[in-house]
Chain A
């Protein structure tokens, strides 16, 4: 793998069902992720996707494109902007995984995650052990 190589590109469509499914799977039942009235009450523009759902979807796109032997060393993100999930039309998040750095120990995959033309995760980086690729 060389710096700049695109490992994967995928757009994932999130709906309110996706948020309820993630709430159940993760145990995060914060109502701002499924109740419009509460989201409005606390001043949000609408019901938001869990930041951890967005982070999880981003790594899923990268992992599916890597060899199955790939061993992840670390994965980190900063949550910069929320993903508002419309009750009728949902939300599309566009993920690009690109090789950001290569050294003897690891390949760093840089993830770009965009929603409605804004970047929602910043410094989203997943490092994979070089000897596992």
Chain B
């Protein structure tokens, strides 16, 4: 089944609220070798005016991933995970994510472009805090091939 072109513009419900924990931010910071003190040291984060430790920029992927699960979970998407490559990723921030934030994300498929037997799917996950204020929009471009992925660039 090829990628369903009618996914463009489809509305997805907001994800369940995700409470960002201080130890989760520290764990993530360690995993991405983020050694700037505001990621792990509460006093350093306070000194910069933040309520708690500041998540590294790519932490937003943890929330975005909840929306991509919604997309992959659709019966009619035509997206097969084993044939999908993460081709591009972008984040546009209003502010950094901070421990204590309660975040929800809303997915929109903004474009599908056929590339021979493959399709490029672009989606935006708009991430907002408990007050409804914008925090970051995470944009993923997925390349879904029609045949099994067999080149060495798979699933980077």
Contact residues in B for A51 (Cβ distance below 8 Å): 86, 89, 156
Secondary structure class of chain B's binding surface, majority of residues: mixed
Contact residues in A for B32 (Cβ distance below 8 Å): 22, 25, 53, 56-57, 59-60
Answer whether A42 and B149 are a contact pair too, CB < 8 Å, given A22-B32, A60-B33, A72-B93: yes
B83-98: contact bitstring with A at CB < 8 Å (1 yes, 0 no)? 0011111111100100
Q: How far is the CA of A96 from the CA of B150 in the complex (A)?
A: 31
Does B154 count as interface, using CB distance less than 8 angstroms? yes
Answer whether A64 and B36 are a contact pair too, CB < 8 Å, given A25-B30, A32-B155, A42-B148: yes
B87 CB to closest chain A CB (Å) equals: 6
Is there an interface contact between B151 and A79, defined as CB atoms closer than 8 Å? no
Among residues of B, the one whose C-beta sits closest to the C-beta of A25 is B31
Is there an interface contact between B58 and A56, defined as CB atoms closer than 8 Å? yes
Does B61 count as interface, using CB distance less than 8 angstroms? yes
Q: How large is the interface on B (under 10, 10 to 19, 20 to 34, 35 or more residues)?
A: 35 or more
Q: How far is the CA of A79 from the CA of B85 in the complex (A)?
A: 9
Does B7 count as interface, using CB distance less than 8 angstroms? no
Does A86 count as interface, using CB distance less than 8 angstroms? no
Which of B32, B36, B37, B92 has the largest count of A CB atoms less than 10 A from its CB? B32
A57 CB to closest chain B CB (Å) equals: 5
Does B35 count as interface, using CB distance less than 8 angstroms? yes
The one of A22, A63, A69, A74 in contact with B91, judged by C-beta atoms closer than 8 angstroms, is A74
Does B74 count as interface, using CB distance less than 8 angstroms? no
Is there an interface contact between B149 and A82, defined as CB atoms closer than 8 Å? no
Q: How far is the CA of A83 from the CA of B152 in the complex (A)?
A: 10
Contact residues in B for A83 (Cβ distance below 8 Å): 156
Is there an interface contact between B58 and A55, defined as CB atoms closer than 8 Å? yes
Which of A25, A28, A73, A81 has the largest count of B CB atoms less than 10 A from its CB? A25
Does B153 count as interface, using CB distance less than 8 angstroms? yes
A40-93 contacts to B (CB < 8 Å): 42-45, 48, 51-53, 55-57, 59-61, 63-64, 68-69, 71-83
12 contacts between A and B (CB under 8 A): A12-B33, A22-B32, A24-B27, A30-B155, A43-B150, A57-B32, A60-B34, A71-B93, A79-B89, A79-B156, A81-B153, A83-B156
Using A26-B65, A48-B156 as known contacts, list a sample of 14 further A-B pairs with CB atoms less than 8 Å apart, ordered by residue number in A. A24-B31, A27-B65, A32-B154, A43-B148, A44-B154, A48-B155, A56-B32, A56-B56, A60-B29, A64-B35, A68-B38, A75-B58, A79-B88, A81-B152
A contacts, CB < 8 Å to B: 12, 18, 21-22, 24-28, 30, 32, 42-45, 48, 51-53, 55-57, 59-61, 63-64, 68-69, 71-83, 120, 126
